[in-house]
Amino acid sequence: MAIEIERKFLLCSDVWRAEVIRREHYAQGYLANTDLSSIRVRVCDERAWLNIKQVVPGSQRAEYEYPIAVVDAREMLENLCEGHRIEKSRHQVYCGDDLWEIDEFEGVNQGLIVAEIELQSARQTFERPRWLGREITDDLRYYNNMLAVKSRHMVGWVEFESIGLLCPCFADEFEGGKAF
């Protein structure tokens, strides 16, 4: 079984923009979304994947991903994912040796920006970038599958949460520059 270990955070400033090394646009839709798992199709440029992911709160989830033909993926997005799609720009930024992926959502989720880091183990430490805000790893509302389905209900909530995007990073969220 493939296990993804990932932590998610809101951002407290936009200084990360000056550090972006790569930007890609993603369109993704959900073919199935249950309490246990989601099945997603994703397109980025001329690449596409089918992804099956466990839906549980926390940093560790089962995940399986398979490349598929772009033409098939685009047809699935168009014909099978109506009302269950999201689009986002993914920015890659290094902080020390760690690669961060920062997703800037579009459409009805515009304004929501989430930073993610993939880890080798749940106990792995990492340098906490100065632009990192509140951790949302355990908050299912920020999972892409939930944003795709509930996005029309999320807009007001995202605007409320965006107050946190501009707040200072609190020292009690990390120890000695390392997230815990």
Active site residues: 30
Residue 67 β-bridge partners:
49
First-to-last C-alpha distance (Å) of the chain: 26
Return the exposure string of 113-138: e unless at least 16 CB atoms fall within 10 Å of the residue's CB, then b. bbbbbebeeeeeebbbbebbbbbbbe
Q: Which residue has the tokens 């923009």?
A: 17
The size of the chain, in residues, is 180
Distances (CA, A) of 60 to 2, 3, 8, 56, 122: 10, 6, 12, 8, 7
Alpha helices, DSSP H only, in 34-114?
Answer: 70-80
